[in-house]
A and B are shown apart, each in its own frame.
Chain A
C-alpha cells in the first residue's frame, strides 16, 4: 500500500508537472494566437486601407494628368491674350473679321477647358496682393495703394478649385 500510495504521489506530482507544462504551453499558445490574430487583422486592415488609398490615388492621378495637360495649354491661352492686347485693330494688320475669328477660336478653347474644370482667377487693379493666387513680377507707379495690385500681366487659373497657376501681377509703388 505504501508503495501504491507512493506511486500515487509520484503520478500526482507528474500530473501537477504536466499540468504546469500544459499551462505554460497553453499560455504560449494563447500569446501566439493573439499575436497571429493581430497580425492577420492588421494585414487585412492594411489591405482594405490600401485599396481605399488606391482608389483615391487613381482619382488624384486622373486629376494630375488633366492638370498637366492644362498646364501645357496655358501658354496658348496666354498667346491669345497677348494677341488681343497688342492688336487693337490698328497698325498690327489685324482685320476686324480676323480678330472676330480669333476671338471665337479662343472662346471655343476656353469653353472646352472650363468644362474640364479650368477657371480664371479674377484680378482687379487695387486688389490686395495674395500670394495664394498671385505672383508678383515687378512694381510700377500707380494711383492704387502701395503694395496692392496695379495691373495684371498674365492671367492665372484655378483647376478644380485649386490654383493651377497664379495670376502674374505688377504691384503698385508710391509715386
Chain B
C-alpha cells in the first residue's frame, strides 16, 4: 500500500512527513533539507527551479521568482489582502477571467494553484526518491482562517501536482494531532503559530471525535523575518554611528549581516549575550573596517518587544472571541521557528499561566500532524497489533537493600532480559530472589511481587557463583522470573500474573513518589554503593594479604591491617564521609602490596591483582536470611 504524504504547504517554507512503522517522520528533500522554500522560478536560461535553487537566484531574477503564493491562492483580485500584497510583491499580477488572481512567470500567466502545484510536485518527487515508492495521495494543511475558495484552490494545487488530496487539514488541528491531543476529551487548546512571515492564533476544542476550531485570528504581516530586519537595521545603525559608513547599500555586507543576525538571534535563545563579529565588513580610504558589536538578549527583546506584545494582544482577543477565559485553556502549542525565542515562550507562559508545549520541532509540527492524519486515513496508526508497555520498572533486591532494575519502565512487551548476579558472602549456598516493581532506588520503597529461594549453590568464595536471573513478560503482561545457577544448572522460577494490572492511579502515584523522593533516594543509594564498595575492599584486602603471605614486609602488612580494621569498624555505620575516607586510605596502602610484589619479581609478567570477571555484575544478592 502506498503511503499518504502529509504536507505543510507554508507561506515561506514547506515540509512533509509520512508515517513509518507507526511513527510520523519528516522526509528530507533532494537537497537534504527538512524544509523546502515555497519558491518557484524560471531562470534566465529557461529552466524551472523550485525550492532552494529558486531562492538562490531570486536577487537577480525578481520578476520571475515567485514566492508567498499562499497569500494569493484562492483569493479574488479585488480582495483587500491582494491589493496590499500587490504593492510589495516584485512579480506581476492581474485579474483573471473568473475574477481570481493570475501571476506572470516569464511570458505565461498562471493561476496561483498552478504555482503551488510546482512546489507540491517537487515535494512529491523528492518523497518518492527518498521512500522508493510512488506517492499518489496527500493530506495538505491550510490556515484555519482559509475560506472555502482558498481550500478548494489548495486542493486543486494538489490535484495538478498529481496528488489525490485525501484531506485539507487545518494547521492548528495538525499541530494538536502531532501532540496526540485528539485523544484528550473536552480539552481547549490554543495554537500560537509565529512563522517566518505570518502570525496565526487559533483556539480549538476537542470534542467526542472531532477537533473543532472555535476562533482564529492573527496578523498576516507579522513574522520572524520582521525580527531579522529589525536586528539588521539596528546593527547597521550602530555601525554607521561608530564608523560613519552606511552598509545598507553593500549587498555582500548586508548578506553577511543577515546571516550574523539570524545566528545571533538563535544564540540568544540559549545565552543572555553574544558578540557579532564581522571582520573586514567594508573599507574606506583609511583601510578595512571591522564590525564588532555586543548583542544582548535584553537588547533583542527591546527591539522586538512591541511585536511580541502585539502577538500577545491578538492572542488575548482571539481567546475572548472563542468565548473561553484564558484560564479555561488546557494546552498551549507553540508552532513556527520564531517561538524558540525565550521571550516569546515567557510571554505565552505568563499569559496562560502554564508551560506551553514545544517538544516537537516547531518548524515541523504541522507536517508531523498532517502525517498523523494521513496515518489515520491509511489505517496505519490504528495498529491491529497493540503492544503494551510495562508501566513501571521491574527488578530484584540486591546487596544493601537496593533495587536493581532488570526491565526498565516503558519497555514494550513481550520482552525478556537476563542479568548475571553473584553471592555476597563466602560459602553462601542459597540466594533469595525478591522480585520488585517500582521506580524507587531502595527495595523496601517498591512493591513486592514475589520472593523465592534458589538453593543448592556449591560453596565457593563470594562473587564466584554465577546466578542467571531472567525476567520474561509475555504479551498478556504475565511476568516469569527464573533464577539459574550456571554451575549446577539448578533453577527456580515464579509466575506473576498481574504484573501490569496496576490501576492507572496506582502507577501514577508510584511514579510521582519516585520523582518526589528522587534526591533522597539517590543519596541512600549512593550510601549503599559506598558501603558495598567498602565491604568488597575489606574482603579484597584481606585476601590480598593472605595471598601475598610473607612476600610483603611486616611494616606494610601491619599498616594494611590497621587500615582494614579502621574501615571495618566504620563501614557498617552511617558516617558516609568516614567510610569514603577509610576506603581511600585502605586502597592507597593496598597498592604497596603490588609495588613490593613487582619489585621482587623485577618486572615479571604477573597479572594485576584484583582479578575480576567482567561478565559478573557488581550488584550482589543479599544473603539468604538465617531463619530460612
Question: What is A's interface to B at a CB cutoff of 8 Å?
Answer: 39, 43, 46, 50, 75, 78-79, 82-83, 85-87, 91-93, 128-129, 131-132, 134-139, 147, 153-154, 162, 166, 168, 171
Tell me if B287 and A137 are in contact (CB < 8 A).
Answer: no
Complex Cα distance A123/B59, Å? 19
Tell me if B21 and A83 are in contact (CB < 8 A).
Answer: no
A-B contact pairs, 25 of them (CB 8 A): A43-B385, A50-B21, A75-B256, A79-B278, A82-B280, A83-B280, A86-B280, A86-B288, A87-B287, A87-B288, A92-B287, A128-B45, A129-B44, A129-B57, A131-B49, A134-B56, A136-B59, A136-B60, A136-B61, A137-B255, A138-B59, A153-B252, A154-B255, A162-B32, A171-B60
Tell me if A138 and B60 are in contact (CB < 8 A).
Answer: yes
| CB contact under 8 A between A154 and B60, given known A50-B21, A131-B43 | no
| CB contact under 8 A between A136 and B56, given known A92-B288, A147-B44 | yes
Complex Cα distance A46/B57, Å? 42
Question: How close is B45's CB to chain A, nearest CB, in angstroms?
Answer: 7
Tell me if B286 and A131 are in contact (CB < 8 A).
Answer: no
| Contact partners of B45 in chain A: CB under 8 A | 128, 147
| Interface status of B259 (Cβ within 8 A of chain A) | yes
Question: What is B's interface to A at a CB cutoff of 8 Å?
Answer: 21, 32, 43-45, 49, 53-54, 56-57, 59-61, 251-252, 255-256, 259-260, 278-280, 283, 285-288, 384-385
Complex Cα distance A132/B32, Å? 13
Tell me if B56 and A135 are in contact (CB < 8 A).
Answer: yes
Tell me if B252 and A131 are in contact (CB < 8 A).
Answer: no
Complex Cα distance A113/B59, Å? 30
| CB contact under 8 A between A78 and B56, given known A50-B21, A87-B288, A91-B287 | no
> Secondary structure of the B side of the interface?
mixed
| Contact partners of B278 in chain A: CB under 8 A | 75, 79
Question: How close is A141's CB to chain B, nearest CB, in angstroms?
Answer: 14
Tell me if B279 and A79 are in contact (CB < 8 A).
Answer: yes
Point out the residue from A79, A128, A131 that lies within 8 Å of B54, measured CB to CB. A131
Question: How close is A58's CB to chain B, nearest CB, in angstroms?
Answer: 16
| Contact partners of B57 in chain A: CB under 8 A | 129, 131, 135-136
Complex Cα distance A87/B280, Å? 10
Point out the residue from B49, B252, B260, B283 that lies within 8 Å of A154, measured CB to CB. B252
Complex Cα distance A27/B283, Å? 86
| CB contact under 8 A between A139 and B255, given known A79-B279, A131-B49 | no
| CB contact under 8 A between A46 and B53, given known A83-B279, A86-B283, A168-B255 | no
Question: How close is A92's CB to chain B, nearest CB, in angstroms?
Answer: 5
What 6 A-B pairs come out closest when comparing CB atoms? Answer: A82-B280, A136-B60, A135-B56, A131-B53, A79-B279, A131-B56
Question: How close is A166's CB to chain B, nearest CB, in angstroms?
Answer: 6
- Nearest neighbor of B254 in chain A, beta-carbon distance: A137
| Contact partners of A85 in chain B: CB under 8 A | 280
| Contact partners of B280 in chain A: CB under 8 A | 79, 82-83, 85-86
Complex Cα distance A147/B43, Å? 10
Tell me if B53 and A132 are in contact (CB < 8 A).
Answer: yes
Question: How close is B235's CB to chain A, nearest CB, in angstroms?
Answer: 15
Complex Cα distance A162/B280, Å? 28
| Contact partners of B287 in chain A: CB under 8 A | 86-87, 91-93
Question: How close is B538's CB to chain A, nearest CB, in angstroms?
Answer: 44
Complex Cα distance A166/B289, Å? 25
Question: How close is B380's CB to chain A, nearest CB, in angstroms?
Answer: 12
